[in-house]
Amino acid sequence: MSVDTAEHQVDLTIDGMTCAACANRIQRRLNKLDDVAEATVNFATGRATIRSEQSIASEILATEVEALGYAVIDDGESDEAEQRREADLWLRFRVAALLTIPAMAISMLPSLRFDGWEWVVAALTTPVIVWSGWPFHRAAWMNIRHGSTTMDTLVSMGSLSALLWSAVVLIADIADGHIYFETGAVIVTLILLGKWFELRAKKRSGDAIRALADLGVRTALLEDGTEIPLEGLVVGMTFRVRPGEKIATDGVVTEGTSAIDTSMVTGEPVPVEVGPGDEVVGATINTNGSLLVEATRVGADTALAQIIRLVDQAQGSRAEVQRLADRVASVFVPAAIVIALLTLIGWFATGHDANEAFTASVAVLIIACPCALGLATPLGIMVGTGRGAQLGVIIKGGEVLEDTRSVDAIVIDKTGTITEGRMALTSVAAPELTDSDHDWLLHAAASIEAKSEHPIAQAIASSHETYLDVEAFVNQPGYGVSGIVDGQEIRVGRRSLFGTVPDAVESVANTAERDGRTAVFAGRGDLAEMTLIISDTIKPTSTEAIEALREQGLDITLLTGDNQLAADAVGRTVGVDRVIAEVFPDDKAAEVRRLQASGKRVAMVGDGVNDAPALAQADLGIAIGTGTDVAIEASDLTIVSGDLLAVADAIALARRTLSTIKGNLFWAFAYNAAAIPLAAFGVLNPMIAAGAMGLSSLFVVSNSLRLRSFAGYRRAG
């Protein structure tokens, strides 16, 4: 179990749940507690998430869960408990199959019968129904004690009814009675087999998150050659990464050059070249060079740990489509029992004998298992979000899947999203200045811009290694910066920052902007004296990404604070539908609202702090993971890499996942809607019903697992 004190959230790992009805019962119990604001229980993941306004001790919550007959275990014990459960199911199934096969053969083939064969069949099948089926009977009894019913109730009632009725017929020697020993045994055997397959499939659905957790290394090699446990590595330590080794933790390269294979974390198939000053991510692979790396983030703060945490939260979330399934599951078992009783009464009332009435009612009990219904949504979310994590796409929750379905417009920030976001100062023009004034003004402009974190400012600042002293620095968002250097006021920014812009300076800027480059003005006081030309290259996959997004039916808008000419040039190159330029940070969210007011469902893609309001305002916020933590926190989808093509992957995967969930739910509802009447009218006997029930769950599981093969545009290309 884990506790998040900042949000007053407690996560419990629960052992012993067998179907969605179990999860609903625990959820109702926890939600009745006074201090609980919201409790959700996920059957597929075996996790309960409890949120409250005030901190609640996990022991109190665990006591409530255990009072219902379930166990709360530590996070580290969940895999071990799952292995024990799988081994137990397999043993009980093998014993059941070994005894059931000869019992069926004797019961169904007259040539194999002999005097007293009924007693032999009873001896073979009683251990199957009682011992192999004991997990169902035990769970059913615990549920009855607490006034509730689950899938185990149906299985237990069906198999025990077959055993008891057959025993009465055999012992009382009822002349016209039929025995159903083999039917009860087959029910238990088939359902055990189905549960075993289901458990193994659920384990496969969590392989992605387990694989992520296994990516990290256990030790780190320090600069002096000392090898220490990873837990001993702290921020500021320098460690060595040899060719072919995984990088121990997030850091900055201080020495050496190499290519880093980031595919396991970002989904990017092409290695990334790194050198001194470049950031590297823990658990990625150093392919060819030797590196020295200074640790910048360790433990729970690393990118890998954050990814795992986000995926884990997403897999425990509940989509809107799950609510209908939850409501149905909560009343399904009691309704099935009532239908079974009505079936029994109806067959008797229409003149049928006890054997026919009994057979039909037992078939109703068995066919009505709600397992498929309970697995439909959470298993789809588990597999979809897990596959997304492998591709470098983090889907924050089940509700995000529904948002992607209705999105029909996407707004994309330019800098750092469509373009590389690494500006470079390519040329400087100051037609009316002497060489000495030119050099001094450029040095002063670089000194002022060094105090700003904006990419354009950093590009200008990089033109010098040392800076002049700056006083009275002022940052005017959307306009530029100013400060006092050597007693003179220096301004660097847009045209609107200056009162006078000479024609020669303006002409240089216009020419550059027509070519799609950015022009920044610098000058003393109110006079613009210098034009600084900044270039930002378009990412190699941006054009392909825009086309992929258009294939998905999205209306595409490029939104940027850059000037209109530069933005138009980029827009034409990549092929976006609309370009909105010179938008101040506060206006980005307003533009999203304007599109929403026109009836659009809007997705926003961005990577900076100034994108956070728009990301939060959008119906679907998509953060490029190379951006800021603020942007990532405000988003619904996070792209770990900086590749815009991964945005197309994210939307396609989210939509595919939602489609899979809907297919699962349709099958689960349709199966029960069709099968229960067939069982009630005697078309399906109990053995066929047991097999069909198991197949329905296996269909939902296998349909969900198909998401593991999702390739995406990057892999397909």
User: Which of the residues are catalytic?
Assistant: 413
Q: What is the DSSP code (8-state) at residue 247?
A: P
Q: Is residue 296 a contact partner of residue 281, using CB atoms and an 8 Å limit? A: no
Spatial separation of the C-alpha atoms in residues 204 and 379, rounded to whole Å: 10
In angstroms, the CA 140 to CA 619 distance is 44
* Cα–Cα separations (whole angstroms), residue 154 to 135, 149, 215, 710: 13, 8, 43, 37
Give the closest residue to 602 by CA, choosing from 564, 555, 569: 555
d(CA 205, CA 409): 32
Q: What is the DSSP string of 28-39?
A: HHHHTSTTEEEE
Q: d(Cα 56, Cα 3) in Å, to the nearest integer?
A: 9
> Cα–Cα distance between 368 and 678 in angstroms, integer?
11
Instruction: Note the Cα 579 to chain centre separation in Å.
Output: 31
Instruction: Give 314-361 as a DSSP string.
Output: HHT---THHHHHHHHHHHHHHHHHHHHHHHHHHHHHTT--HHHHHHHH
Element (H, E) at 637: strand 637-639
174 vs 542: CA distance, rounded Å:
79
Reading the block at residue 178, the tokens are 């039929």
Tokens of 432: 């009316």
**Residue 635 in 3-state DSSP?**
coil
Check if the beta carbon of residue 24 is closer than 8 Å to that of residue 329: yes
Q: Are 170 and 198 in contact, with CB atoms under 8 Å apart?
A: no
Ramachandran angles phi, psi of 489, nearest 5°: -80, 125
Q: What is the chain's Cα-based Rg?
A: 33
Residue pair 512/519 in contact by the 8 Å Cβ criterion: yes
Distance CA 198, CA 167 (A): 32
- Please name the amino acid found at residue 577: D
SS (H, E, C) 365-388: HHHCCCHHHHHHHHHHHHHHHHHH
